[in-house]
Amino acid sequence: MTKIAIFGVGLIGGSLALCYKGKPGFTVVGHSPNPKSVDKLLKRNVVDSATTSMAEAVDGADYIFLCVPVGMLEEYVQQLMNLPLKKGCIITDVGSTKATITESAETMVKDGVFFIGGHPMAGSERHGVEAASSHLFENAFYVLTPAEGTPQAEVDRLTELLKTTKAQIVQVGAREHDDIVGAISHLPHIIAVALVNQVRGYNETNPLYQNLAAGGFRDITRIASSEPMIWRDILVNNRQVLLKLLTDWNLEISRFIELIEKSDGEGIVEQFRMAGEFRSQLPERRKGMITSLFDIYVDIPDHPGIIGQITTLLGNARINLSNIQIIESREDVPGVLRLSFRNQEDADRAVELLSGPYAVHV
């Protein structure tokens, strides 16, 4: 039996637990310092067993996943080193930054125990075990940042284990990881939050901002709703990289200020052209760092219970709805319902299911 211990069974820890729980040959134990959380994990059936005792969780464990906020990772590795661990045990984490934990764990691990940094590059703005899903990592990249001197055979062993997540495993240097992920994930989160707060300010004097900010604005700022504590730790941890990126961001914005001041139409066109060209080269069907929602639109006649009927149809077909929004609902016009799904397959199935009784657009 392969024993997997998971510390911090939230969105990511819970999703990992669901990848292994019930698979032949695996047993999954969840750890939380909070007895109420332990009860919740058992009730929700996310793990085979759960405990508040670190010693009990790691007893005989083959793999230990640290899925707590980035700021707690080092402390967890330190505490694990004071416990009897199984020989050959691999400790890995899922933190969104990799340099500090990979470098410090290297100095902490004892003989016969290995630390391999990890980052499943998929997630969402939601948090907690309630949002966990065994499908979260499918078709996403899962980065491993082995500490120097880690035998490749151990990295291969973890890679083999992680195949169950259906993610594509890649090895990247920890510092290179933080540079790249800083630019494609951490900076966009900062920009989304700053943008929402800018509009929030205007909205204080004119609430029409909020009313008109549906649709596109809502979409591009989804990640501004991410869990504050998780992001506090990520941004503080990756501060060096982010300070450089924010300086570059200021330059990009200054360029736009100048172009607009000068009414430089050609310059503006050139900015859009270059961005469009690069963007069109991004991989299309792979799940990226910042996941998109897949939307379909359904015309809804104005009569009571219609939304319930649609959600029931989807529920019965076990199609997971991620978001639902009424776009227009006035007495004189039929409403449009926007249904969002986490993947194209669910969106396609929903179109097929709803196209009979309703008018569906994509």
Ligand X SMILES: O=C(O)C(=O)Cc1ccc(O)cc1
Note whether 118 binds ligand X by CB under 6 A: no
Note whether 242 binds ligand NAI by CB under 6 A: no
**Out of 185, 221, 237, 238, the residue judged to bind ligand X by CB under 6 A:** 185
**Out of 118, 120, 146, 182, the residue judged to bind ligand NAI by CB under 6 A:** 120
Q: For ligand X, give the closer residue by CB, 40 or 127.
A: 127
Task: Residue 291: name its binding partner from ligand NAI, ligand X, none (Cβ under 5 to 8 Å by kind).
Answer: ligand X
**Out of 121, 161, 300, 347, the residue judged to bind ligand X by CB under 6 A:** 121
DSSP states along 275-316: HHHHHHTS-SSS--SSPPPEEEEEEE-S-TTHHHHHHHHHHH
Long-range contacts: 216-225, Cβ < 8 Å, 24+?
219/293, 220/192, 220/195, 221/192, 221/195, 221/196, 222/125, 222/192, 222/293, 223/125, 223/188, 223/189, 223/192, 223/290, 224/125, 224/189, 224/192, 224/193, 224/195, 224/196, 225/125
Report in angstroms how near the CB of residue 122 gets to ligand X at its nearest. 6
Task: Residue 117: name its binding partner from ligand X, ligand NAI, none (Cβ under 5 to 8 Å by kind).
Answer: none
Question: Which residues inside 307-326 make contact with ligand NAI, applying CB under 6 A?
Answer: none
What DSSP designation does 206 have? Answer: -
Give the bridge partners for 328, in sequence order. 336
Give the bridge partners for 142, in sequence order. 120, 169
Question: Which residues inside 215-244 make contact with ligand X, applying CB under 6 A?
Answer: 223
Cα 260 from Cα 253, distance rounded (Å): 11
Q: For ligand X, give the closer residue by CB, 220 or 351.
A: 220
Report in angstroms how near the CB of residue 15 gets to ligand NAI at its nearest. 8
**Out of 90, 289, 347, 354, the residue judged to bind ligand X by CB under 6 A:** 289
> CA angle, 126 as apex, 322 and 130 as ends, to 5°?
85
Q: Is 336 exposed, middle or buried (0-12, 13-18, 19+ CB in 10 A)?
A: middle
Q: For ligand X, give the closer residue by CB, 59 or 74.
A: 74
The encoded tokens of residue 67 equal: 């899925």
Of the listed pieces 67-75, 247-255, 280-288, 330-338, which binds ligand NAI according to CB under 6 A? 67-75
The encoded tokens of residue 218 equal: 């809502």
Task: Residue 146: name its binding partner from ligand NAI, ligand X, none (Cβ under 5 to 8 Å by kind).
Answer: none
Query: Which uninterrupted H or E stretch holds 327?
Result: strand 323-330
Q: For ligand NAI, give the closer residue by CB, 126 or 157.
A: 126
**Out of 54, 58, 70, 116, the residue judged to bind ligand NAI by CB under 6 A:** 70
Question: Which residues inside 37-66 make contact with ligand NAI, applying CB under 6 A?
Answer: 37
Of the listed pieces 116-124, 186-194, 300-308, 324-332, which binds ligand NAI according to CB under 6 A? 116-124
The residue type at 161: L
Report in angstroms how near the CB of residue 151 gets to ligand NAI at its nearest. 25
Enumerate the H helices of the chain as residue ranges.
Answer: 11-20, 35-44, 54-58, 73-81, 99-108, 152-162, 174-181, 187-205, 208-212, 216-220, 228-237, 239-261, 265-280, 306-316, 344-354
Give the bridge partners for 27, in sequence order. 3
Note whether 290 binds ligand X by CB under 6 A: yes
Count of residues in the chain: 362
Note whether 69 binds ligand NAI by CB under 6 A: yes
Task: Residue 94: name its binding partner from ligand X, ligand NAI, none (Cβ under 5 to 8 Å by kind).
Answer: ligand NAI
**Out of 15, 27, 51, 96, the residue judged to bind ligand X by CB under 6 A:** 96
Q: Taking the CA of residue 211 as centre, how many other CA atoms within 13 Å lie in the half-sphere pointing to its CB?
A: 4
Question: Which residues inside 10-39 make contact with ligand NAI, applying CB under 6 A?
Answer: 10-13, 32-33, 37
In the complex, the residues that contact ligand X under the rule CB under 6 A are 96, 121-125, 185, 223, 289-291
In the complex, the residues that contact ligand NAI under the rule CB under 6 A are 8-13, 32-33, 37, 67-70, 72, 94-96, 120, 123-124, 127-128, 227, 230, 234
